[in-house]
Structure 1
Amino acid sequence: MDRLRWFGRSDTLFVFLAILLPLFFSIANSAFNVTTIPFNQGYLPLFGDGNLVRSPDGKGVRLLLDRFTGSGFISSKLYKHGFFSANIKLPSDYTAGICVAFYTSNGDVFEKSHDELDFEFLGNLQGKPWRFQTNLYGNGSTNRGREERYRLWFDPTKEFHRYSILWTAKNIIFYIDEVPIREVVRNDAMGGDYPSKPMSLYATLWDASNWATSGGKYKVNYKYAPFVAEFKDLVLEGCPTDPIQQVSDAGVCVEKEVNLNSQDYAMVTPERRLAMRKFRQKFMYYSYCYDTLRYPVLPPECVINPLEKRRFKDTGRLKFGGSHRRQSRRRSRTPVASNSEFDSNM
């Protein structure tokens, strides 16, 4: 029952168990129909080669972090739109100060105008739940971070769960298992802030002691090293495209785009939309769309839910149930391309 106490008072927990979990489980058990590829067919080591361990069947990898280096991998091609997915199991025990990132970016090609879509998992003290955030940047809009932060309804260290990013010309959806947790719908007012250039997929495990846990209060403790994040059942769906000229077989790309938009994971059914709303009501504890101190003018992609808005302060944080202190985040752009100012504005 210890983990159940994460979710609050017993009456809230009862409602959660009676209504929310069956919905999540029913959706999560109806897995997407995806085609996985072996690691060597789609990915290359990015850094810390000695800490990247391929599985015996070639279908997955382990990323390790020790006192000498973290590790990471990158897709061997860049893609114009796509579905990027992996089954991931996060490090267990004491994980304060570490960051596991699963994201798309073109920061190595477009240094000052890069695009990015992030899952970032933030370590914690032993016995405390993992938290994570999603983010997106378009055309180098790092001074306009679009962070949301959440808790999970399960322990991500016990077994694998599928984390996915769908990126199309019309929308972006972040999934956990088959539950959509966030959707950003493109509109003309976003302009270049909507990611539009070809991106690679990245996965990294690294020391983020200066910001990841309680604003850097709790550092990586290498007594618990090596920290291990596991990735398997990797999915890369999209059209490989030259990042500079953005030249590819036009016919093939049109066909792939049509196929991408016709897949099950591109359909936000009423059942999935309800699951997304329930997730956000229960587990989202920060949203930039409700942070009127940072954004007195509402960002154009934000769709305000009046019921959701009442739960948040003008800082974008929960009025009740929030457990995080003000944080200060400064981070290097290596190895992760993101340069969020989330915590420095809290």
Structure 2
Amino acid sequence: MEYGIHSRTLFFFFFFFSLLYTTTAFNLTTLRFDEAYSPLFSDFNIQRSPDDKTVRLLLNRFSGSGIISSDYYNYGFFSASIKLPAEYTAGIVVAFYTSNVDTFERNHDELDIEFMGNVKGKPWRFQTNMYGNGSTSRGREERYRLWFDPSKDSHRYSILWTPKNTIFYVDEVPIREIVRNTAMGGDYPSKPMSLYATIWDASTWATNGGKVKVDYKYEPFVSEFKDLVLEGCIVDPIEQISSTNCTDRIATLLAKEYSTITPEGRKSMKWFREKYIYYSSCYDNIRYPVPPPECVVVPSEREMFQNSGRLREKLKFGGSNRRHRRGRRSRQPRKVAATGRPRSCYVKWPRKCCMCNMYN
């Protein structure tokens, strides 16, 4: 028995490291904060390193904080090495996402990576999502755990967005791909978007359905962003006039190593999804009796899920399977509520925050 357990342990150890070994690092050009970003809200909770290559976003009892890319991009690769808060993280959400909600309020596009804190002693969870043309009621969520502690060290999280596909990466491991097809119509993001990074108080819903709140005894909560990457064609969001030839820039983007998943990358993605995913809208037959048109049903994944899109076996960590959407923001400084969310968030969704359009 001991030999069998030891053998299985060694097998998974070598299998895991073989996956990492076959996944080569991307050749990326990083930027300083002042080259590509601006404060979004709560400047007093944004700390920039002396060389301007690292930015720390703080959440305390006064506010959260956020940054935004200085430009809009017509497709691109958006990436950062992120280290999440440690110790007590219940009620906290850290988000790294693209959006154009401020310019296209009723038909905005969005691609999300959102990290959700947990009760003490439980791991961070995160989700990816896609909205196109204002299709927030048809969000395409997936939710996962991680194979490492994201509060111990920085790890790279990336969003590739092209006219053909969208790929989410953790380090250089592809965890999700959405391939565009004609049946998706406007649900596939296609308008210029900005890149955001934020940390905020989501006590009303984020942990166990809002039962566990942010405990400011542990403030400040710090999320660190470095190795900032913004690659794409800069455009005017309204006129959609580019500062360069977008045809050439998009062709260059499509030729990059991260725009195509290699056979080795497919193996890594299969390993990740079968081990760490715990919800997928593609297998949620209650919300979607007919799966969304971009879904590719994988038999080995299908067996994992109930008709609700959640795992058949209850996982060992707690938390809510809810999601939210964000409200508008302006390029101009705005007043924010004590949580760090713009006060205008409460206009569109009376009696609830615009970032908290919930469902179970």
- 1:253 Cα deviation (Å)? 1.1
Q: Would the aligned equivalents of 1:82 and 1:239 in 2 still touch at CA under 8 Å?
A: yes
Instruction: Write out per-residue CA displacement over residues 55-102 of structure 1, whole angstroms, 9 at most, x where no aligned residue.
Output: 111112000000000000000000000000000000000000000000
Task: Tell me which residue corresponds to 1:50.
Answer: 44
Aligned residues: 333
Task: Tell me which residue corresponds to 1:17.
Answer: 12
Q: Would the aligned equivalents of 1:95 and 1:124 in 2 still touch at CA under 8 Å?
A: yes
Relative to structure 1, the CA distance from residue 85 to residue 16 in structure 2 (aligned partners, 3 Å threshold; closer, same or farther) is: farther
TM-score by length of 1: 0.91
Task: Tell me which residue corresponds to 2:217.
Answer: 223
Q: Would the aligned equivalents of 2:205 and 2:356 in 1 still touch at CA under 8 Å?
A: no
**1:1-346 → structure 2 map (5 Å cutoff):** 14=9, 17-18=12-13, 20-27=15-22, 30-249=24-243, 252-323=245-316, 324=318, 333=327, 335=341, 344-345=359-360
Task: Tell me which residue corresponds to 1:4.
Answer: none
Letter in 2 for 1:22: F
Q: Would the aligned equivalents of 1:210 and 1:331 in 2 still touch at CA under 8 Å?
A: no
Separation (CA, whole Å) in 1 of partners of 2:162 and 2:264: 21
Q: Would the aligned equivalents of 1:51 and 1:70 in 2 still touch at CA under 8 Å?
A: yes
Matched residue SS, 2:359: helix
- 1:339 Cα deviation (Å)? 5.6
Letter in 1 for 2:123: P
Letter in 2 for 1:18: F
Letter in 2 for 1:21: F
Matched residue SS, 1:191: helix
TM-score by length of 2: 0.87
Relative to structure 1, the CA distance from residue 166 to residue 269 in structure 2 (aligned partners, 3 Å threshold; closer, same or farther) is: same
Separation (CA, whole Å) in 2 of partners of 1:340 and 1:289: 22
Give the % identical residues. Answer: 60
Relative to structure 1, the CA distance from residue 213 to residue 66 in structure 2 (aligned partners, 3 Å threshold; closer, same or farther) is: same
Structure 2: gaps spanning 5 or more residues: 329-340, 346-353
RMSD: 2.2
- 1:254 Cα deviation (Å)? 1.4
Matched residue SS, 2:199: strand
- 1:333 Cα deviation (Å)? 2.8
Separation (CA, whole Å) in 2 of partners of 1:16 and 1:44: 47
Letter in 1 for 2:281: Y
Separation (CA, whole Å) in 1 of partners of 2:195 and 2:227: 14
Matched residue SS, 2:138: coil
More divergent stretch after superposition (218-227 vs 317-326)? 317-326
Separation (CA, whole Å) in 2 of partners of 1:41 and 1:16: 45
Relative to structure 1, the CA distance from residue 243 to residue 331 in structure 2 (aligned partners, 3 Å threshold; closer, same or farther) is: closer
- 1:326 Cα deviation (Å)? 6.4
